[in-house]
């Protein structure tokens, strides 16, 4: 199957980008992963690629301030965005990051989809809505990926999913299907691989 083949090929870290002029050539389909600090972005990229330490998954939130580019052969860029909503980050750092994020989202022609990661226990927070608003105005289709599904019961999950669906209804750029994942257990990983592989 095509999805499996894409992810079975070589996966590499390409570079960390801190300014627009550092972006690699826009020559292939690109997807990015956005979400609050500690939501599980790096862990998800590791799970998708089957490489445990490819995107550094750390317990120190808000440390990565670079846009990290990974390559799936020459077919895809996977882009790990810095976590947002980390209260202890200095104001100047946050401002610089927001400016870069805005330019990136508005100006990246090959960016086909943003995955907005939401913690299955916490649902959509105000900072998530800000990012969703930015994606709306940048006309970047985004899809919600619930993370850490292994940490909650089915009942709690349904309640949080209801909250998320309600929030998504207000965002024109939102793709309606929500993907439930656990990087720890492997839940939803094949589904997400197929989605990424299927984008053209």
Q: How many CB atoms lie within 10 A of CB 68?
A: 23
| Nearer Cβ to Mg ion (84/174) | 84
The owner of tokens 């086909």 is 112
Q: Is 83 in the site for ligand GTP (CB under 6 A)?
A: yes
- DSSP H helical ranges for the chain: 2-8, 41-49, 91-107, 126-138, 154-168, 189-198
| Nearer Cβ to Mg ion (42/143) | 42
Residues 107-146 binding ligand GTP (CB under 6 A) are none
Which string of x and - marks every residue 55-74 that binds ligand GTP (by CB under 6 A)?
A: --xxx-xxxx----------
Q: Is 182 in the site for ligand GTP (CB under 6 A)?
A: yes
Q: Is 85 in the site for ligand GTP (CB under 6 A)?
A: no
Vertex 97, ends 91 and 103: CA angle to 5°?
140
Q: Point out which span in 39-47, 66-74, 122-130, 148-156 binds Mg ion (CB under 5 A).
A: 39-47
Residues 142-161 binding ligand GTP (CB under 6 A) are 147-148, 150-151
Query: Which of ligand GTP, Mg ion, none does residue 120 bind to, with CB < 5 to 8 Å depending on kind?
Result: none
Q: Is 188 in the site for ligand GTP (CB under 6 A)?
A: no
Report CA torsion sign: 131, 128, 140, 43: positive
Q: Is 147 in the site for Mg ion (CB under 5 A)?
A: no
CB contact burial 97-119 (16+ within 10 A = b; e otherwise): beebbeebbeebeebbbbbbbbb
Q: How many CB atoms lie within 10 A of CB 66?
A: 17
Q: Which residues bind Mg ion (CB under 5 A)?
A: 41-42
Q: Which residues bind ligand GTP (CB under 6 A)?
A: 35, 37-43, 57-59, 61-64, 83, 147-148, 150-151, 182-184
């Amino acid at each position: 199957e095509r999805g499996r083949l894409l992810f079975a090929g070589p996966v590499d870290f390409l570079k960390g980008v801190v300014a627009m002029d550092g972006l690699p050539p826009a020559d292939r389909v690109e997807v990015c992963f956005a979400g609050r600090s500690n939501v599980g972005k790096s862990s998800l990229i590791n799970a998708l690629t089957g490489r445990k330490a490819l995107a550094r998954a750390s317990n120190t939130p808000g440390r990565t301030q670079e846009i990290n580019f990974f390559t799936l052969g020459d077919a895809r860029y996977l882009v790990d965005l810095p976590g947002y909503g980390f209260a202890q980050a200095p104001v100047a750092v946050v401002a610089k990051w927001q400016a870069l994020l805005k330019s990136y989202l508005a100006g990246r022609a090959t960016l086909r989809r943003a995955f907005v990661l939401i913690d299955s226990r916490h649902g959509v927070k105000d900072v998530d809505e800000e990012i969703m608003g930015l994606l709306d105005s940048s006309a970047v289709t985004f899809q919600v990926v619930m993370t850490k599904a292994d940490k909650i019961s089915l009942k709690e999950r349904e309640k949080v999913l209801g909250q998320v669906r309600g929030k998504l209804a207000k965002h024109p750029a939102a793709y309606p299907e929500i993907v439930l994942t656990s990087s720890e257990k492997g839940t939803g990983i094949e589904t997400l691989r197929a989605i990424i592989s299927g984008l053209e």
